[in-house]
Structure 1
Amino acid sequence: MKIDHIAIAVNDVESAAKQYQQALGVDNVVFETVESEGVKLAILKLENGRIELMEPTRDDSPIRKFLDKKGEGLHHMALATDNIENEFQRMEGCGVQFLGKIRNGSEGTKITFIHPKSLSGVLAELCSHPKSH
């Protein structure tokens, strides 16, 4: 397993992407909307991982609830695995609690979220990229 990305909740993904691009010297930003999660993403690819800026696209989005409660800031860290199904079963067997089942995320990735209670108060995403990624 490795750290895949850090996700940051923002009110305006276009504006935040410009800030991050300038501050980090990143040229390549990919924008994507994930309707099932109710978010618009700006994905900044760094040498050793990614930063995902997330803006809610609807009022029932978990990101809208996060922003209303806590404001902009760090939302979760993502951990990548080659086999999310096996890792999900292994972690459940260790008592790790998940927030839902495995589902589709951005760029064809399979995702699920680990309940913060299982990782000392930190929300974590478990993800598995398509083999061509």
Structure 2
Amino acid sequence: MKLGRLNHIGVVVPDMDQAVAFWRDVMGATSFHEADVPQDGLHIIFVDTPTHSTSSGQAHSGMDGTQMELIQPLNEETAVSAFLAKNPAGGQHHVCFEVPDIEAARAEFEAQGKRVLGPTRIGAHGTPIFFVHPKDMGGILTEILETPKEGH
């Protein structure tokens, strides 16, 4: 398995309005995108991270296109609600890496004995995803996402 691009870092938040205000007012974010997942009971806002210019004026960022995913549960029955119950202030929930072929990636993780959590499904970016158990990923819940196509 080759490491793909870091797509986003998922952060669970207890109050979406406060979280957006933090990323806008403290961190200077200017680009936000809502992508709710009602079937999973989640309210999601993606925060785009900016690129930076070098002294020569060229855009430079080691993670162009990376986002912060702000996640708020809509009800008490979600896995994110359980995370928030244990971490009332919220916090980092997962990291997400892209792969070109979700089925091949899943097969490779499973062949390595990694515990894939649940079926492959459509995520907030509108592309297929699955999660790999943190105990099999160095203690980090890891989302694997098929690289979004144009328009997603």
TM-score (norm 1): 0.93
Aligned length: 133
Deviation digits for residues 5-64 of structure 1 (CA, Å, limit 9, x no counterpart):
001000111220111122221111112210122110110011420000100001101111
**Whole-Å Cα distance in 1 between the matches of residues 120 and 97 of structure 2?**
14
| Superposition deviation, residue 2 in structure 1 | 1.6
Q: Which has the higher helix share?
A: 1
- Answering whether residue 29 of structure 2 is matched by residue 13 of structure 1, we say no
Secondary structure at the counterpart of residue 35 of structure 2 = strand
Paired residue type of 1:88: R
Match in the other structure for 2:38? 35
Aligned CA RMSD, in angstroms, stands at 1.2
Q: Is the 8 A contact 1:10 1:54 kept in 2?
A: yes
Structure 2: gaps of 5 or more residues: 52-63
* Shift in CA distance, 32/131, structure 1 to aligned 2, threshold 3 Å: closer
1:66 aligns with 2:69: no
Which of the pair has more CA radius of gyration?
2
Contact residue 9 and residue 54 of structure 1 kept, 8 A: yes
Tell me what 2:115 maps to: 97
1:79 is the counterpart of 2:97: yes
Where do 4+ consecutive residues of structure 1 move more than 3 Å?
none
Aligned residue in 2 for 1:115: 133
CA distance in 2, matches of 1:86, 1:103: 15
1:39, 1:108 → 2: CA distance?
A: 14
The question of whether the paired residues in 2 share the 8 Å contact of 1:8 and 1:51 is answered with yes
Identity %: 29
CA distance in 2, matches of 1:42, 1:18: 12
Q: Which runs of 5+ in 1 are unaligned?
A: none
Displacement of 1:75:
0.4
Instruction: Confirm whether residue 50 of structure 1 aligns to residue 63 of structure 2.
Output: no
Counterparts of 2:148 and 2:114, CA distance in 1: 24
Q: TM-score, normalised by structure 2?
A: 0.82
